[in-house]
């Protein structure tokens, strides 16, 4: 550790030296390193502007307006009710970010990232939702000193919006979660097959998006969603609408206060743990262990910190969850430690198509709870 500390201290002094930077830039063999560091720092500085360019494109429905083909600046300005010169500034910025691309002298079409966003409808919902986080981060030090009145915490069902009923708050919460849950259901089930399993209990399963997808994929499976009563109603509605009511059902309850239903040989926690602090997570994992059959499987899907394939995920979730009012991103090692303390063993990572969004883990009950 002493040697490592000495080396890192030397590194920090070198990288912080203007003379060192100037000498590196003059030396062709190492010039690319200095340029890459400068670009990375620029992207961190400009990141908020990038996100606002995307937010403006989503608010103006530019990706949908261009889905059928190129349109001129004047046509887009008229459709968006913006002056041409103002809109053109946005169009050029979006083209720099590959959201759009110029087509001919005065027309625009989708860029590769703009086209890709249309393939994931939940992206637009999350972008619109993020104006709350941006508002909270306008004064980051104020947020870090006191998050009790953050805009983001007021949005979620954990802090219901005044003037709305519990059912209305559940509807708002579940609509966003359903749109974002569609990102990960395919990924999770592609890496953890439920073939041969009898019954899935999806704890905190919201309006049933993940459970419904599992039922569609595995014909011999039954599924129950366990969530707050007003949310469970929405899951039952989904099962009925999709013709899955004979195999799918929902139960109302509080996963932090009530015993989890027994009988399932798979219990899933899909993007649940990072939303909550350690004491609540440990209580939930212990409840899952008590409810689990001896041959059971615990299925966890989480965005994890320290994800080499998706650097920056932890940084994002540390601030997002602070503003939300609870939770934190955890490393694989930390989740493994918590699972073993709750009575699980054989913790395995199953892989992921999109580690930026989710990593898939499984665990089995240890010999003794």
Q: Which residues are catalytic?
A: 274
Q: Is 61 left (phi over 0), alpha (psi -120 to 50) or beta?
A: left
Residue 140, number of CB atoms within 10 A of its CB: 12
Residues 269 and 203 sit within 8 Å (Cβ to Cβ): yes
Residue 239, number of CB atoms within 10 A of its CB: 22
Residues 152 and 136 sit within 8 Å (Cβ to Cβ): yes
Per-residue HEC secondary structure of 91-138 comes to HHHHHHCCCEEEECCCEEEECHHHHHHHCCCHHHHHHHHCHHHHHHCC
Q: What is the DSSP letter of 353?
A: S
d(CA 117, CA 123): 6
Concatenated DSSP letters of 24-43: HHHSHHHHHHHHHHHHHHHH
Q: What is the DSSP letter of 72?
A: E
Q: How far is CA 150 from the centre of its chain?
A: 19
CA 284, 289, 291, 297: dihedral to nearest 10 degrees? Answer: 110
Closest Cα partner for 207 from 189, 183, 182? 182
d(CA 111, CA 97): 9
CA 117, 123, 124, 127 dihedral sign is negative
């Amino acid at each position: 550790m002493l040697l490592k500390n000495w080396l890192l201290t030397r590194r920090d002094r070198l990288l912080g030296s203007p003379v060192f930077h100037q000498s590196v830039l003059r030396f062709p063999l190492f010039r690319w390193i200095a340029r890459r560091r400068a670009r990375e720092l620029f992207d961190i500085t400009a990141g908020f502007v990038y996100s606002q360019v995307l937010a403006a494109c989503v608010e103006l429905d530019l990706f949908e307006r261009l889905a059928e083909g190129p349109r001129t600046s004047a046509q887009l300005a008229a459709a968006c009710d913006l002056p041409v010169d103002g809109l053109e500034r946005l169009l050029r910025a979006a083209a720099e970010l590959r959201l759009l691309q110029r087509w001919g002298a005065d027309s625009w079409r989708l860029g590769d990232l703009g086209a890709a966003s249309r393939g994931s409808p939940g992206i637009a919902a999350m972008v619109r939702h993020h104006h709350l986080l941006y508002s909270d981060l306008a004064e980051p030090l104020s947020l870090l000193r006191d998050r009790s009145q953050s805009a983001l915490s007021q949005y979620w069902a954990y802090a219901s919006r005044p003037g709305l009923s519990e059912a209305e708050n559940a509807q708002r919460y579940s609509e966003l979660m359903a749109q974002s849950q569609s990102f990960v259901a395919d990924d999770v089930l592609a890496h953890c097959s439920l073939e041969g399993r009898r019954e899935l209990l999806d704890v905190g399963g919201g309006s049933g998006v993940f459970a419904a997808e599992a039922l569609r994929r595995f014909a011999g499976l039954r599924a129950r969603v366990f969530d707050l009563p007003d949310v469970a109603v929405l899951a039952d509605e989904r099962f009925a609408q999709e013709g899955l009511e004979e195999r799918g059902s929902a139960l109302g309850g509080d996963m932090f206060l009530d015993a989890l239903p027994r009988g399932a040989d798979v219990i899933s926690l899909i993007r649940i743990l990072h939303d909550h602090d350690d004491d609540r997570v440990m209580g939930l994992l212990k409840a899952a262990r008590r409810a689990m059959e001896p041959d059971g499987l615990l299925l966890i899907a989480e965005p994890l910190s320290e994800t080499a394939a998706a650097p920056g995920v932890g940084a994002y979730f540390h601030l997002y969850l602070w503003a939300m009012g609870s939770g934190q991103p955890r490393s694989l090692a930390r989740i493994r430690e918590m699972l073993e303390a709750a009575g699980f063993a054989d913790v395995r990572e199953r892989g992921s198509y999109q580690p930026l969004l989710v990593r898939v883990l499984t665990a089995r009950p240890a010999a003794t709870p």
